[in-house]
Amino acid sequence: MLLFFPPARWPNFLCVCSVFSSGSVQLHWSQWPPSKNDTTPKWFCTSKGLLGCGPSGIMAGDAIITDSGAMHVAGVPIVNPSTIVVWEVTPGPGNGFQVAPKTSTSCAVPPLSPPNWAGFAPLAAYLFSWQDYLLSEAKQGKKQTDQNLLDAVPLYCSPVSNFSAYVSPEAAAQSAATTTWGSGVTAVAFDPTRAGSVIAVVIVEGMKMILM
């Protein structure tokens, strides 16, 4: 579970990204810092977006907001433990799907595509538009059920890159980095100082290598 404080293009925002071993991602978010008049900050959540890593799920994962404001998730599919896949988490149900949000209301429901708001990343604008809508509904005395809310805010995860973590003994001997040979990955993490451009990987033998 990862906590994100306001990075570029995610202003006044606290987001929790849960990466599940079953191979899905879910976001919980809230305004940050909380309003002085709000003694109990309101949290919102999305539905679970499938990573598409096979029926067995993933054995390691991490998430980060890039410099462009995109959310990337890295994971190691259980069916292929020497491969690391990076997905981008985007608004809506994905290409080719037309889904009507399962909310019962007379007000305009936010679109499944993100609004174009200056200074906001598309995913942040998408979540904020749903936040404004749900707060407006609450002020009118309308309360959505937890299940309706889970169905209402879909996410789509698309792979943007994948690479092998296998290192042969010969390559390890020639590497200037701290690297050992091996194939199975036990942990993966984005370098927060590099905004997702560098991933640290721990392989079975216990040594660390940096993949650029």
Question: Is a pLDDT exceeding 70 seen at residue 182?
Answer: no
Q: Do β-strands 83-91 and 155-164 pair in parallel, antiparallel, or remain unpaired?
A: antiparallel
pTM: 0.77
The reply to whether 182 falls in a domain is no
Q: What total number of domains does the chain contain?
A: 1
Lowest pLDDT segment from 12-21, 66-75, 83-92, 165-174: 165-174
Here the tokens at position 52 are 């598409």
The reply to whether 206 falls in a domain is no
The reply to whether 41 falls in a domain is yes
d(CA 192, CA 20): 20
d(CA 9, CA 201): 28
d(CA 179, CA 50): 32
The reply to whether 130 falls in a domain is yes
Q: Which residues pair with 18 in a beta bridge?
A: 26
The reply to whether 19 falls in a domain is yes
Q: Which residues pair with 210 in a beta bridge?
A: 200
Lowest pLDDT segment from 100-109, 123-132, 156-165, 175-184: 100-109
40-63 tens-digit pLDDT:
778 888 988 999 887 888 988 899
Domain of residue 19, residue span:
2-164
